[in-house]
Amino acid sequence: MNDPAKTQAWLIGGAGRSGKTTLADSLQTHSRTIAGFPLEGVFHVYLQRRFPFFRHQRRRLLTEYMNRPRYMDALRTKVERPCDHFDATVDGLTNALPDHVDHPIGLFAWLLDQYAAEQGRSGWAVFDLLPELRFATYRRLIPGVKLVVMQRTPEEAVAEAMFWRSYPEAPEDRRRRFRNVLFQWCLSRAVTEAHRTHYPEDVAIFSFNALVGGSSAEISRMAETFEMDADAVRDAFNFIPPFGYHAETGFKGPDGIMHNLLTPEELEEITNAEAGKFARRDLAILLALAPRAPVFARDLGDFLLYPGTILRRRVNALRQQLVDAAAGIRQSLRSPA
């Protein structure tokens, strides 16, 4: 476990294509106290795995995590790994791993503590896939952790998430993909608002559109939250984001050309969903349940939209559990009594 008196930890959340990476990069460059880690934390992946005899698997897990590749571009041609961003070697970190680390998330938090120390900062921030859905769990596993959520207008977030890898062509499963990314946007918003009610001191929400639009109030609030100069925040968000939406002319693609990427029917569905009227009744019910059961809502929503994909993932997860169990047994037998 981490000592919250020593390290300030932030999880960066929000729906896809909402500015999480931009926030992490700006913190790394400009914050006086918070080191923004440039790669996705993938904490959610390891929460779904089981590690029998964990203490005997810590070295294996640390090595795996530090060498786990992250794709850095839409075409998945550029790869970076956590070890690329540490001064310490994997062997050095493994040898320094303290005895009190007893869970994968605690292990990763400790690694980020070391990263922050290397950067001369007292805390860290890392983005992940919808960490707001598991924030209650993260609060237990990383004492003192806080949540910052980036929110973007749904038209832009949905359009970029849909067309990010296929622009200017629509994805082959357009309708299902549209429903999926819109559901995730609504899910993130509903759960984040619930967290802000329950943990008002530990949850911050920022508007990506207000920041890139130069809002002095939003810029000042971010600067105060993360101990940054307001001018530095303004410079970090002083760009024209791709897929910016203009009601009269459509979306500005990454090539600078305006397109009507979303149909009038899709835009209407977004407007209705933002007002709490999701088109599919089953998904609307899940959104109503989301503040009380966020992970269940996400998992069932994924299954309703992509049943075949989810079943394949479950099979792969079972295989991974067998691998992790075998590794734990093997390491425990090799360990001296």
Measured between alpha carbons, how far is 137 from 127 in angstroms, rounded to an integer?
16
Number of neighbouring beta carbons within 10 Å of residue 275: 8
Which distant-in-sequence residues (6+ apart) come within 8 Å of 296 by Cβ? 289
Structure tokens, 38: 């440039």
Question: pTM for this one?
Answer: 0.95
User: 3 in a domain, yes or no?
Assistant: no
Q: What is the pLDDT of residues 39-90, one digit of tens each?
A: 999 999 999 999 999 999 999 999 999 999 998 877 778 999 999 999 999 9
- The model's pLDDT over 189-226, given as tens digits with 9 standing for 90+, comes to 999 999 999 999 999 999 999 999 999 999 999 999 99
Find the mean pLDDT for residues 267-286.
97
Secondary structure of residue 214 in the 3-state scheme: coil
Which residues touch 173 (CB under 8 Å, ≥6 apart)? none
The pLDDT assigned to 335 comes to 80
Token output for 241: 């984001």
CB 270 within 8 A of CB 159: no
Could you give the CA distance from residue 12 to residue 203 in angstroms, rounded to a whole number? Answer: 10
Could you tell me what percent of the chain has a pLDDT over 90? Answer: 94
- Say yes or no to pLDDT of 2 above 70: no
Residue 2 lies in a domain: no
> Which domain range does residue 305 map to?
8-334
> How confident is the model at residue 336, as a pLDDT?
75
With 60 as the cut, is the pLDDT of residue 1 above it? no
Does some domain include residue 225?
Answer: yes
pLDDT in the model for residue 125: 98
Q: Is residue 276 part of a domain?
A: yes
- Please state, rounded to an integer, the average pLDDT across all residues of the chain: 95
Confirm whether 136 is domain-assigned.
yes
Cα 120 to chain centroid distance, Å, stands at: 24
pLDDT at residue 265 tops 80: yes
What is the domain count for the chain?
1
Q: pLDDT tens across 98-115, in order?
A: 999 999 999 999 999 999
Look at residue 337 in the predicted model and tell me its pLDDT: 55
CATH number at 256 reads 3.40.50
In a domain, 1, yes or no: no
Residue type, 97: L
pLDDT tens column, 132-169: 999 999 999 999 999 999 999 999 999 999 999 899 99
CA-based radius of gyration for the chain: 21
